[in-house]
Chains A and B, each alone.
Chain A
């Protein structure tokens, strides 16, 4: 997602990360109880996981996150008007890239005076399931996070 953000930034596409709740709280990154703690976790997202996009913290009660469906790692794309034009219940850089490239092409077509009307489309996108990387992420949170996930989703 960082690479995608850098690729499209020059075409007036902003990319931000909204910090929500801890989906897999563990010994090292327990559930959130204060904004101060949320700032610390968000700083580690930047410094340890290398998120280079601007990080914006949601309120501690997740008001923004909850209003948008409160999925643990979802992505939305907004037009300047505030109209959401893409939403996915899981973040996948290929899917987001496919979408933003399409919308940038729409902008180009409008500049070329094509008359365009929106319509709705639904489709399923597909992402890689990298279990090794996923469990490495859980381990960063702590053994508790690993054990709880294994208990919920036994292999």
Chain B
């Protein structure tokens, strides 16, 4: 899959099964109890951070994934 195709498929333009179902991958997500992958993230307030910078700053970190819609 090319980068453009990935962007288009991930940011689908219509809620139809062929678009949303391929992204329902919870069963393939990282297991509990093992080191998790790190990624860059961009705070709405500005700047850049990483998921690891967030989780390493506190005893526990609750991360909700979602969007306006």
Give the interface of A toward B (CB within 8 A). 1, 4-5, 8, 11-26, 29-33, 35, 39, 41-46, 48-49, 53-87, 89, 91, 96, 100, 103-104, 107, 118, 120, 137-138, 140-141, 144-145, 148-149, 151-152
**A100 → chain B, closest Cβ, in Å?**
6
**For the complex, what is the distance from the CA of A77 to the CA of B17, rounded to whole Å?**
29
**A146 → chain B, closest Cβ, in Å?**
10
Q: Is the CB of B67 within 8 A of A31?
A: no
Which residues 19-69 of B have a CB within 8 angstroms of A?
20, 23-45, 49, 51-52, 54-69
Chain A interface mostly: mixed
Residues of B within 8 A of A79 (CB): 55, 59-60
Q: Is the CB of A71 within 8 A of B32?
A: no
Question: Given A32-B11, A44-B68, A83-B33, A54 and B45 touching (CB < 8 A)?
Answer: yes
**For the complex, what is the distance from the CA of A31 to the CA of B67, rounded to whole Å?**
11
Question: Given A25-B14, A83-B34, A84-B32, A56 and B49 touching (CB < 8 A)?
Answer: yes
Among B31, B33, B55, the most chain A Cβ lie within 10 Å of the Cβ of B55
Q: Is the CB of A61 within 8 A of B7?
A: yes
Q: Is the CB of B11 within 8 A of A70?
A: no
Q: Is the CB of B12 within 8 A of A67?
A: no
